[in-house]
Amino acid sequence: MTEFTKTKIHFALALLGSLFALHPYLQRFEEASFQYLGYPLKVSYAYLLLAGLLALCVYCYGLTLVSERPHSWLERLGNYSYGLAVMVLPFYGGLYLASLLAEQLGQSHLAWAAPGAALAVGIGWFVLSQVFALFLRGRLGKQDRSAKAEQLARQEVVSLSHARELFAGQHYDLSVMETWRAIEARLRRALLARGVNLQKANPEALIHAVKRAAVVRESTLGLLQDLKRQWEIAASSEPLSKEAAESALSAGRHILATIPVEDAAASAGAA
């Protein structure tokens, strides 16, 4: 989970907390309502809808805490729920204005137009609220991708530093594993810049996605396969020699040098 997602959770929880703080005051107006096309719409309905959407938003974001695997559809649903929650009060206000318009027309020579005008305004306002919610979801999605790209860039730097330190300390198995983590972070950044969200976290799925997206050349793909085999040995109980670890680190440096980054973070933000 990125820091941006955590910030979104905190903000949604803050809004929920504000709703609970306002609840004692809203109880005084619990029965307050207005008529829209003959149906009573209570103020409490807007309160419950807003609280429900925010709770769904926090739930979707919270599920991303289960693992480090990407949950793109959950984050999109959370972003959409947040967008709808933001539009609850304006939407309710639009319906109230539509009811006032219908009431005014009902007292004039255009009384026959009252139901149609109220319905047209209500539908138009509903469509506008959906467009705004989708727009907000898209903006949040771009920021999600940008924050994820920055997180992967930091992970790559840290893993490379750890790999050198572990190799110097003669922890050859661990140095190869950290090298693979750095390569994986760079490849995920490159995929993210191309709009590819990898659903599976295993190396085979990563290499398959990289091959399909043409992120690396064929020669580099061979080095990537070799590094994956060295990673599998390092992750097993079989000891890894210094020469094998040195070769893996050298392959890792070459792979990183051939993967175009063209600033994946900026690309993700501009996507």
| 102 pLDDT above the threshold of 50 | yes
Q: End-to-end distance of the chain based on CA atoms, in angstroms?
A: 20
Q: What is the pLDDT of residues 208-240, one digit of tens each?
A: 888 888 888 887 888 888 888 888 888 887 888
- Do 145 and 268 touch, CB atoms closer than 8 A? yes
Three-state DSSP class for 187? helix
In the predicted model, what is the mean pLDDT of the chain? 77
| 105 pLDDT above the threshold of 80 | no
pLDDT tier for residue 68 given thresholds of 50, 70 and 90:
low
Query: Quick one: pLDDT at residue 29?
Result: 73
pLDDT tier for residue 262 given thresholds of 50, 70 and 90:
low
| 108 pLDDT above the threshold of 80 | no
Query: Quick one: pLDDT at residue 242?
Result: 85
Interaxial angle between packed helices 172-193 and 242-258, expressed in degrees from 0 to 180 and rounded to the nearest 10: 10
Three-state DSSP class for 138? helix
- What whole-number distance in Å separates Cα of residue 262 and Cα of residue 25? 53
pLDDT tier for residue 261 given thresholds of 50, 70 and 90:
low
pLDDT tier for residue 153 given thresholds of 50, 70 and 90:
confident
- Do 81 and 57 touch, CB atoms closer than 8 A? yes
pTM score: 0.57
Query: Quick one: pLDDT at residue 100?
Result: 76
pLDDT tier for residue 70 given thresholds of 50, 70 and 90:
low
Average pLDDT (157-174) is 88
Question: Dihedral angle at the C-alpha atoms of 255, 258, 259, 261, nearest 10 degrees?
Answer: 130
Query: Quick one: pLDDT at residue 266?
Result: 43
pLDDT tier for residue 115 given thresholds of 50, 70 and 90:
low
| 109 pLDDT above the threshold of 50 | no
